[in-house]
Structure 1
């Protein structure tokens, strides 16, 4: 039964990829946003989480439900782009990207491995296209999904963006360390601590944890950790922001500094922050 379920889920992804792949970019983008907005009406617990998170970010509980609808629309755009991308479209995607802080990347890229720490903003995978133009050999850590066929599909999709993927499972830390020592650039989504055993921080005024990976790897190799944001433009395209490396302090100090950067990034475009799961310990308490 599990195998049949995996095949059905994988088949759905392939069908959606086939459908969205036929669309021109404007239709793909608007269809994704419309479907995401519609999903917000049946999303249940995920919508409740979105509203909680946006209330923390904006401090405005009355505005959060409306912002949450827009966040789901943005998430729909992310998925539409994921299904739409093809190797032949990479140059087209690159032509509609812009970046602040590319000079920072150029300054550090020839000194050894780099660590890019990102929140789940916009289409974070599109950063792979910009990384290619900057001459970076990009490796990303990604969650191992229960369906191995879909995990493999995601690996293939990210390869189109120029991203080599290491799944977060047994042995992943050692593999990432090896890649970093070899001069690769690691892209690590760092706003969700999946195991809940990360580094304590204050994030939007409340205690939670960030994953320890970026800071531990930096300490073991001396690699700089660059905070990065990836945004959708109002219409077509993406905009990336790179900041100076975190100060070399304790792991705890580095984590808190990164949390501050993430707060800045998310406040710029709160409806592009695609975290719909519990993120703070209080999110798991009964409503």
Structure 2
């Protein structure tokens, strides 16, 4: 690794080992200060967040948009604070601080032996949601991008595995679709982040009325396995996390079915993202 990569990796590893030892109030205060500095620095990530929010919420004037960006950066840093602490949380506390809406859309098909494919945006804390599912009897399988430096990716895999998740690499190994299909086809629970895809295989959708592109993978997996396709959105509610399970989406048949299902997932995402925009931590380009 380069000197910079070693420094980045050491910082992540140190945070995972150190932040969890801090009292929660002290850790939250520390990351709120980091969030304030990050917002004021106005780097490329914050600028892209502002651009995404402006497309998602075109009705906002400049002052209201700027307040939203500030809140979004703080929500993003809250995610990181929690990520570095989640593996040390007592499970009963984590479960007690999780609220749900429409949870039967997850539990019923799973209890009946059907798989469930949950499609989620990068909103609030998806690791917390995954830990809640595992802690309440629904171990899950998901996919992770290979981050650089590799040591950071390895730490993320170790972290998520400690919460009960099975992690597959997106690249650099066997194509994940086969293992995901086996898991969902056997009645398992699959979670996939699905609010951004600028590749040639992406599906054209509307996100809050704006043209965007999303991955076909969740719909394709549900179509192939017969699993229920359930859009999920997340939001912070004071010290808690709220998970909303939207109406299941019919994946139909063939490419047209996959495209229509992906657009229906986008419609569900739109409702959650407009309602809780500051919890959408999307600092990469989404809208063409």
Q: Distance in 1 between matches of 2:177 and 2:143?
A: 9
* 145-154 vs 161-170, which moves further: 161-170
Deviations 1:90-135 (A, max 9, x none): 3322221111112221211032221011111100111123212442
Q: 1:204 to 1:146 in 2, by over 3 A?
A: same
Q: Does 1:11 align with 2:31?
A: no
Partner of residue 253 from structure 1, selected from 229, 243, 260: 260
Q: Distance in 2 between matches of 1:84 and 1:43?
A: 26
Aligned to 2:213: 209
Partner of residue 155 from structure 1, selected from 135, 157, 166: 157
* Runs of at least 5 residues in structure 2 that lack an aligned partner in the other structure: none
8 A contact 1:197–1:209 mirrored in 2: no
Superposed CA RMSD in Å reads: 1.8
Q: Distance in 2 between matches of 1:160 and 1:251?
A: 33
Aligned to 1:121: 123
Q: 1:220 to 1:81 in 2, by over 3 A?
A: same
Aligned to 2:46: 47
8 A contact 1:87–1:160 mirrored in 2: no
Deviations 1:128-172 (A, max 9, x none): 232124421211112111221111100111123322111211512
Partner of residue 184 from structure 2, selected from 180, 187, 191: 180
Q: 1:239 to 1:147 in 2, by over 3 A?
A: same
The secondary structure found in structure 2 opposite 1:112 is coil
Q: Distance in 2 between matches of 1:222 and 1:198?
A: 22
Q: Distance in 1 between matches of 2:152 and 2:200?
A: 25
* 135-144 vs 196-205, which moves further: 196-205
Aligned to 2:37: 38
Partner of residue 191 from structure 1, selected from 195, 201, 219: 195
Q: Distance in 2 between matches of 1:194 and 1:135?
A: 35
| TM-score normalised to structure 2 length | 0.90
8 A contact 2:203–2:262 mirrored in 1: yes
Correspondence list, 1:60-209, <5 A: 60-62=60-62, 63-110=64-111, 111-169=113-171, 170=173, 171-193=175-197, 195=199, 197-209=201-213
Deviations 1:172-208 (A, max 9, x none): 2222222222322111011011535311112222222
- 1:30 Cα offset (Å): 3.0
The secondary structure found in structure 1 opposite 2:187 is coil
Q: 1:105 to 1:147 in 2, by over 3 A?
A: same
8 A contact 1:180–1:186 mirrored in 2: yes
| TM-score normalised to structure 1 length | 0.91
8 A contact 1:33–1:75 mirrored in 2: no
8 A contact 1:34–1:76 mirrored in 2: no
The secondary structure found in structure 1 opposite 2:261 is helix
Q: Distance in 2 between matches of 1:15 and 1:244?
A: 41
Q: Distance in 1 between matches of 2:4 and 2:176?
A: 27
State the number of aligned residues.
279
Q: Distance in 2 between matches of 1:223 and 1:13?
A: 36
Deviations 1:11-53 (A, max 9, x none): 1112222331122222222322331222112242212211111
